A and B are shown apart, each in its own frame.
Chain A
């Protein structure tokens, strides 16, 4: 279980998170929604301690991730898979090397075993036989799926998805959604998905929380989200231009 307690984060004078409290239960598929730039990805990066909070803390299986030593932090991180928004594949490596890297770094497995496991994960994400390709040779959707294969190579307990369907065509997006559900069911992992794609939300979410102005303003299932009377949630769900959420004019 992951518990986020009173999380605050500022970037210079810009306040991004203002006291986020959230519990994520084992095995659930939690979706975090909100407008672009509302701090969803920042929240996700705090869970892995890729960013450090100004205030508040995060407990992963009752261990405060902020306070652990580097060795323990790396031990905790091995329980996570992270799918980055742009996949963040290592340009200089092939697909196989990208996916196999954590196995070479953290296990004593032999090359043959590693290659077999890489092939198995590539099969799972629907991309068999592309081991020798370089990231530059892949389409956006393929990159995301390779990123996903890399995220699950260590059979993690938690998978964090940062906008997994952004920039993909609807069919590819549906495929990724299907993968998220399959992985969740097959591997029984806890999934935290950050997105503003409401079609994905409807398909994959066990529970939805909405982040707005650095705070969680809604928590419930998809039906509750759609029926919510909260004006902000209503405007977001129904994609309306008029409402309490207005794009701020930027000062230059």
Chain B
């Protein structure tokens, strides 16, 4: 056996033993899975520690009102055009698709009810949150990440200013508050978009469309959507801040952080959408 392998060069004999095979090819994946699991729990723990520190600063909300107002402006008010754009087309598409499904089975008189419920409980909150994850979550990660790699976070600390209070708290609070507000805008414009399509394509009169919206309107549906939006907004901001604070490695690191924040928050929004739907409906 030894002679045989000698023919293939100086490869040490132990490379071909069963023991080595077990140690390398079986233990390595287990080690990898173990390391990943530890890393997952480490990161999850760090996110909750950051959230805990953020919540502690809510007691000093009044003295930090300007920081919070600035972030609400950035996260909320400046996102309105994009959210309206997405909302109107989401409503329009919902209307077209629903009309297609109702055709020949159910009267178009129920089109308003079907599309508005879909917008209130699903399309409004989820699309608003996904848009926010792209526009705001990623920009938070990029902004804080750039501050991290250029020592601006260290500079804040050296000036005896806690970055969690100064950077994370206003952003996370704004995320929780402003995404539901944006969702209300998306809901309203979504229903209008749906009606516009119904009027153009099906010549459906407004009293029929909005009559059915009113008939099947339930505050519970709207609040369920807003509860979802509340959690989605929090997730987007928390992930954006956490990823930003964890950034290393210069410009490339900032780029990676931006992608990571968007992918992670989008995935968590969809996962939580499922979980919250199970709980709420």
Question: Which A residues have a C-beta under 8 Å from some C-beta of B?
Answer: 45, 48, 50, 70, 74-75, 77-78, 80, 82, 84-86, 88-91, 101-102, 105-106, 150, 154
B39 to chain A, nearest CB (A): 14
In the complex, the answer to whether B159 meets A105 with C-beta atoms within 8 Å is yes
Question: Looking at the complex, which one of B147, B151, B160 makes contact with A106 (CB distance below 8 Å)?
Answer: B160
* Residues in B whose Cβ lies below 8 Å from that of A50: 154, 157-158
Which residue of chain B is the closest to A81 with respect to CB atoms? B158
Enumerate B127-153 residues with CB–CB distance to A below 8 Å: 146-147, 150-152
* Residues in A whose Cβ lies below 8 Å from that of B146: 91
* Residues in B whose Cβ lies below 8 Å from that of A106: 160
In the complex, the answer to whether B151 meets A101 with C-beta atoms within 8 Å is no
In the complex, the answer to whether A77 meets B158 with C-beta atoms within 8 Å is yes
A181 to chain B, nearest CB (A): 22
In the complex, the answer to whether B162 meets A74 with C-beta atoms within 8 Å is yes
B137 to chain A, nearest CB (A): 18
In whole angstroms, what is the CA distance A74 to B154 when docked? 13
In the complex, the answer to whether B160 meets A45 with C-beta atoms within 8 Å is no
In the complex, the answer to whether A84 meets B151 with C-beta atoms within 8 Å is yes
Judge whether B251 is part of the interface by a CB distance below 8 angstroms: no
In whole angstroms, what is the CA distance A11 to B157 when docked? 21
In the complex, the answer to whether B158 meets A82 with C-beta atoms within 8 Å is yes
Judge whether B155 is part of the interface by a CB distance below 8 angstroms: yes
Judge whether B82 is part of the interface by a CB distance below 8 angstroms: no
In the complex, the answer to whether A75 meets B151 with C-beta atoms within 8 Å is no
* Residues in A whose Cβ lies below 8 Å from that of B154: 45, 50, 82, 84, 88
Instruction: Name the interface size band of chain B.
Output: 10 to 19
In the complex, the answer to whether B159 meets A102 with C-beta atoms within 8 Å is yes
In the complex, the answer to whether A88 meets B152 with C-beta atoms within 8 Å is yes
**Contact sample, A vs B, 5 pairs, CB 8 Å cutoff:** A77-B159, A80-B158, A85-B151, A88-B155, A101-B159
* Residues in A whose Cβ lies below 8 Å from that of B161: 101-102, 105
In the complex, the answer to whether A88 meets B160 with C-beta atoms within 8 Å is no
* Residues in B whose Cβ lies below 8 Å from that of A88: 150-152, 154-155
In the complex, the answer to whether A48 meets B158 with C-beta atoms within 8 Å is yes
Question: Looking at the complex, which one of B147, B152, B155, B160 makes contact with A78 (CB distance below 8 Å)?
Answer: B160
* Residues in B whose Cβ lies below 8 Å from that of A78: 160
In whole angstroms, what is the CA distance A101 to B150 when docked? 18
B180 to chain A, nearest CB (A): 27
In whole angstroms, what is the CA distance A50 to B160 when docked? 11
Question: Looking at the complex, which one of A48, A77, A91 makes contact with B152 (CB distance below 8 Å)?
Answer: A91
A22 to chain B, nearest CB (A): 20
Question: Looking at the complex, which one of B147, B152, B155 makes contact with A82 (CB distance below 8 Å)?
Answer: B155
In the complex, the answer to whether B155 meets A90 with C-beta atoms within 8 Å is yes
* Residues in B whose Cβ lies below 8 Å from that of A90: 147, 152, 155
Question: Looking at the complex, which one of A70, A74, A84, A105 makes contact with B155 (CB distance below 8 Å)?
Answer: A84
In whole angstroms, what is the CA distance A84 to B158 when docked? 10
* Residues in A whose Cβ lies below 8 Å from that of B157: 48, 50, 77
Which residue of chain A is the closest to B165 with respect to CB atoms? A105
A143 to chain B, nearest CB (A): 11
Which residue of chain A is the closest to B53 with respect to CB atoms? A70
